[in-house]
Chain A
C-alpha cells in the first residue's frame, strides 16, 4: 500500500506542472471559457455514447487528456440502440450520456425537437461549413465519403467501378456471374442503414432504375465491416455505397491491398455526416462541451482522421491526415458540386421514410428470393 501511494505521489508531481500549464483557455477562445474549464473540475468526467469504435476515439482522447487531464472520458461504442438507451436512462434518472455522437437524420431531428440537445455556440464554429452546423449546439464531427470497393481478382483488369453507373453496367454485362455477388447496406434495416442508398438516390432523378437494376445481383448487409470481409474473401465481388471508415483503415493491410481496390462515387458522391451534441440528460455538461470543442478543434479533427474519419473543418490540408480531405474527394469525383452532404433538415426525414417504403416495395423483393 505505501508503495502504491508513493507512485500516486510521484505521478501527481509529474502531472502537476502539465495540468497547470494546460489550464489556460485555448488561443482564440472567449475569455469566459475559463469558467467552463473551472466547472469541469467539479464534474465526474464525460460519458460518451457514440457509433465510433475505441480505436477511433483513442487519439482524440489522448489529445484531450493533454488539455484537460482531470477529465476522464469513457466511450461506449453503440449502434441504433443508443437513442433508446439514452431516453430510458434519462426518464428513469439514471446516469446517461453527456455527449452523443451518432448518425440518423430522423433520430437527430427528434432529439433536437424534444430539446434534448444543449444549445451552445462552439468557439470553433467559424471553421465549420454550414452543413456541419445542424442546429445550435449540434455539430457535424465528420463527413465520410461513401465508397465502392471491389475484389480485383473477380473484376476484369481495367474495369474500374468508380460510379454507380459503372457498377450497374458491370452487373448487366455479367448477369450470371455476379448474381447475388454484390452488396450494399440493407435499407430495410432502419433509416441509418438506408441513408447510404438514400443520399445517393437524392442526387439522381433516375436513381430507382439503377437501384432496381442492381437488385437481383445484390445481397444486403447490415455492417460495412462484414461487407469488406466478404469482398476480401470473394464471397462478394463488390460492395457499393459502403462506409469509408471501415475501408480506409483496412485497405492498406498488405494482404488486402493485393486483392482489393476502391473508388469514390463519380456520379454523385454522398458524404455521410456524423453529428454530436451535449445531451440534456447528462450530468457533466461543462466537461462534455470541452470535449465537443476539442473534437471540433484542428487537433481533434486530425486525431479523428487517424481512425478513418474525414474532418469537417475547412482548414485541414491534404497531407495533414492519412486519408483524403473533403477537397481531395471533390477533386477525385470532378468537382465540389458532385458532393452531397447529408442534410439534417426536416424535409430529409420525410424523404428518407419515403425512400425506405419504396425500397421495400421495389428493390428488396428484386434482390430477395
Chain B
C-alpha cells in the first residue's frame, strides 16, 4: 500500500523538489497536455450541446438552430414524470447507500467488531461487478421468482416484496452503491483519534451522543463527498432502471434518453441531447455544491497532542448483534446476489421447478468459446482495459503535473492549495477503488512517520513546505513509535474528498468514471506525492524533500499486509510496483 505514496521511480530529488516547472522544454509539453485534455473533455460535450439546439441529426447538415426540443420537453408530461422519478430514485437510493455505507464504515472502521476485515472486504465485492450483471443478480435473488423471494414466499405464504417498484429499485441501487460510501468513509473512520471519543464519553456522553457529536462530524467531508457522488451516479444510472423499472413502466431520465434516442423508430436526436444537457447541468451544479461544502477541508483537521494508537471502540453487548447484522448484509446483499449469478452461469435454467442437479451444465461456457465473436469480445475488453490504462495513466499523470506543477492557468490548477492532487495519488481508495489501505489496515498502526514538522503546513506553499521538510530527520533515521508531536491530521482534506470531482468543473467530473482505470494506474505507479495519507490513516512520508521519502517503504510489508484482501489484481499490482 505504501507503494502508492512512494515517489516515481525515475523522479530525481531535484524534480520532486521543484515547486513549479517553468523550464524551456516543459512549456510546449505543458501546452500540449493542456490542449489534449481540453479536447478530450470537450469532444463529447460540444456535439451534444450543438445537437440540442439543432433541428436535425448532426450528420444531416440541413438542420437549423432551434429551441424547439427544449420547448417540447417542457410540455412533455413523460419528461416531467421521468424527472420526478429520477429525483425520487436518486434521493432514496442515495439515502439508503449513505445510511448503510456510513454504518458499515463505522462498525468496521471504528469498532472491535469480530471478523471486521473479512466482513468489510466482502462488502466491497459489488464494486467489482458491473451494474448490468448486478441487476441480473438482483432479479435472480429478489425478483418475483427470485430464489430468496420464493423461499420467503414459501415461509410466509405471500410475496414479501416487489422488486419492480420505485422502492425496490431504490433499494437495489442503494445497496449496490453502499460499498462506495463505505470505502469513502472507512478510511476516515479509521483515522479518528479515539481520544476525542473518549473525551466525550468521559464528559458524560453516551455512545449514541458520542457518535452524533464527535464521530459523524469528523466523517462529514467523506459523507458529503460520497453523498453527492452517489446521487450523481444514481441519476445517471441506466441499466438498473431499465431492467428493474421498465417492466412496471417506470421511466427515468436515462431510460427516457435510451428509449427516445435508440429504440424509437424516429430517434429524437435533439430531444435526447437536450435531456443530456439538462442532466449535465444538474450534475455540474452538484459538483459545484460539493466543492463548496467540503472545499475547505482544513476545517476538519484536528490537532492532537500526544499520539496514541488509534483505539477501537468497544461494542460490548452490541458486539454480536452488530456482527449478525453486518454478516446478514454481506450474506443477503453480496453473497446471495453474486452467488445467484455464479449459479446461473453453471446451469441451463434457474427455476424453482427444476431440481438444480438436472440443470447443472458447462454449456454456457462452451458456447462462449465456440464462437469467435464471443471470444473476441473478451479479448477486446481486456485490450481496451490495458490500452486505456496505459494511455490514461500517461495522460492523467501529465495533466496532473501540468495542473499542479506549472504556471499554466486554468480551472484544474485553480483553487488548489498546491501539491499534486489530480490523480488522487495519495488517496488510497479514490472513487471506490480500494487499493491497499482499507484491506491492509489492521488494528495495528503502521510505523508512523516520525516527527513531522510539516504537520499543519500541508497547505502552505510547496517551497515553504519543502524548506521545512528538508529540515526533518535524516533518511535513514529509524522510525520509532511516534513520540511527542505527532501529526494528527485526522481527515485529510485532500484525501477524503474526491479530488477529481472537487477540483474539476463539471466536464471532468463527467469524465470521471471513464478515467477510473487511469487514476488507478497512477496510484500503482507511484507518482510523487506531496503528503500522502494511507487508507489506515497514517501519514506516509512527505516525499518532497530529498532523501525524506520512504522510497519503496511499502515493499517490505505490503504483500504481507494484503493477505486476506479481496482486491486481488489491484492489490497485487500495488504490492508489486516496488519489488
Give me the interface of A with B, judged by CB distance under 8 Å: 54-55, 58, 75, 77, 79-81, 84, 87-88, 90-92, 104, 106-107, 151, 153, 180, 183, 186, 188-193, 219-222, 229-230, 232-235, 253-256, 258-259, 353, 364, 367-369
Asked if B265 and A104 sit within 8 Å, CB to CB, the answer is: yes
Residues in B neighbouring A183, C-beta threshold 8 A = 247
- Are B349 and A233 in contact (CB-based, < 8 A)? yes
Given the interface pairs A81-B262, A104-B265, A193-B263, the reply to whether A255 lies near B349 with Cβ below 8 Å is: yes
Interface centre among B139, B348, B353, B373 (most CB of A within 10 A): B353
Q: Does B113 contact A (CB under 8 A)?
A: no
Query: Does the CB pair B259–A189 fall under 8 Å?
Result: yes
Interface size class, chain B: 35 or more
Q: Write out the residue numbers on chain A whose beta carbons fall within 8 Å of the beta carbon of B165.
A: 369
Give the distance to chain B from A349, nearest Cβ to Cβ, in Å: 9
Across the interface, name the chain B residue whose C-beta is closest to A180.
Answer: B144
Residues of A within 8 A of B367 (CB): 55
Task: Give the residues in chain A near B372, CB-CB below 8 Å.
Answer: 54
- Quick one: which of B59, B242, B266 contacts A92, CB cutoff 8 A? B59
Which B23-62 residues have a C-beta within 8 angstroms of A? 57-60
A20 to chain B, nearest CB (A): 26
Set B143, B249, B266: member contacting A106, Cβ < 8 A: B266
Name 6 A/B residue pairs within 8 A (Cβ), A-sorted: A80-B263, A153-B353, A180-B144, A193-B263, A219-B247, A234-B150
Q: Which residues of A contact B246 (CB under 8 A)?
A: 186, 189, 220-222
Q: How far is the CA of A193 from the CA of B246 in the complex (A)?
A: 14
Query: Is the Cβ of B263 less than 8 Å from the Cβ of A220?
Result: no
Complex: chain B residue closest to A76, CB-CB: B373
Binary contact readout B234-260 vs A (1 if CB under 8 angstroms, 0 otherwise): 000000001000111100000000010
- The complex places the Cα of A81 from the Cα of B269 at a distance, in Å, of 12
Chain B 123-152 against A: per-residue CB contact (8 Å), 1 yes, 0 no?
000000000000000010001110000100
Q: Collect the chain B residues with CB atoms within 8 Å of residue A368's CB.
A: 248-249
Pick the contact of A369: B143, B248, B358 (CB < 8 A).
B248
Instruction: List the B side residues contacting A87 at CB < 8 Å.
Output: 57, 59
Contacts of B57 in A (CB 8 A): 84, 87-88
B263 x A151 contact (CB < 8 A): no
B249 A190 Cβ-Cβ under 8 A = no
Instruction: Beyond A80-B262, A255-B358, A256-B348, list 17 extra A-B contacts (CB 8 Å).
Output: A54-B371, A54-B373, A75-B373, A80-B265, A84-B57, A84-B262, A90-B59, A188-B249, A191-B264, A234-B145, A253-B348, A253-B349, A255-B349, A255-B354, A258-B354, A259-B351, A367-B249
Residue B339 CB within 8 A of the other chain: no
CA distance A368 to B353 in the complex (A): 28
Give every chain B residue within 8 A of A81 (Cβ-Cβ).
262
B184 neighbours in A (Cβ, 8 Å): none
| Contact call B267/A84, Cβ cutoff below 8 A | yes
Asked whether, in the complex, the Cβ of A190 is within 8 Å of the Cβ of B259, the reply is: yes
The reply to whether B263 and A190 form a contact with Cβ atoms under 8 Å apart is: yes
Residues of A close to B59: CB separation below 8 A: 87-88, 90-92
Tell me whether B265 and A55 are in contact (CB under 8 A).
no
Interface assignment of B164: CB less than 8 Å from any CB of chain A: yes
Which of A55, A88, A220 contacts B247 (CB under 8 A)? A220
Query: B350 — which chain A residues lie within 8 A by C-beta?
Result: 233
Given A54-B373, A87-B59, A92-B59, are A221 and B265 neighbors across the interface (CB < 8 Å)? no
Total A-B pairs, Cβ < 8 A: 109
Contact string, B287-305, partner A, CB cutoff 8 A, digits 1/0?
Answer: 0000000000000000000
Residue of A nearest to B243 (CB): A226
A residues less than 8 Å from B11 (CB atoms): none
A190–B60 touching, CB < 8 Å: no
A87-B57, A104-B265, A235-B145 known; A364 and B359 CB under 8 Å?
no
B351 touches A233 (CB 8 A): yes
Give the residues in chain A near B374, CB-CB below 8 Å.
54
CB distance from A315 to the nearest CB of B (A): 30
Chain A residues near B568 (CB, 8 Å)? none
Query: Is residue B409 contacting chain A, with contact meaning CB distance below 8 A?
Result: no
Q: Which chain A residues border B263 with CB–CB below 8 Å?
A: 79-80, 189-190, 192-193, 222
* B352 sits at the interface (CB 8 A): yes
Tell me the complex Cα distance, A88–B269, Å: 12
**A91 and B262 contacting across the interface, CB-CB below 8 Å:** no
Residue of B nearest to A107 (CB): B265
How many Å from the CB of A55 to the closest CB on chain B?
A: 6
Residue of B nearest to A183 (CB): B247
Q: Tell me the complex Cα distance, A49–B267, Å.
A: 18
Measured in the bound complex, the distance between the Cα atoms of B372 and A58 in whole Å is 10
Contact A219–B349 (Cβ < 8 Å): no
> Are A259 and B353 in contact (CB-based, < 8 A)?
yes
Between A91, A189, A235, the greatest number of chain B beta carbons within 10 A of the residue's beta carbon is seen for A235
State whether A233 and B145 are in contact (beta carbons under 8 Å apart), knowing that A55-B371, A368-B248 are contacts in the complex: yes
B141: min CB distance to chain A, Å? 11
- B249 and A91 form a contact (CB under 8 A): no
- Taking the closest CB of chain A, its distance from the CB of B240, in whole angstroms, is 14
Chain B residues lying within 8 Å of A107, measured Cβ to Cβ, are 265
Among A54, A235, A254, A255, the residue within 8 A (CB) of B144 is A235
A115 to nearest B CB, angstroms? 15
Contacts of B349 in A (CB 8 A): 229, 232-233, 253, 255-256, 259
B164 and A219 form a contact (CB under 8 A): yes
Pair A151/B353 contact, Cβ less than 8 Å: yes
Q: Which B residues touch A58, using CB under 8 A?
A: 371
A254 touches B353 (CB 8 A): no
Q: Mark B366-407, 1 if CB is under 8 A from A, else 0.
A: 010001111000000000000000000000000000000000
Which residues of A have CB within 8 Å of B143? 230, 233, 235
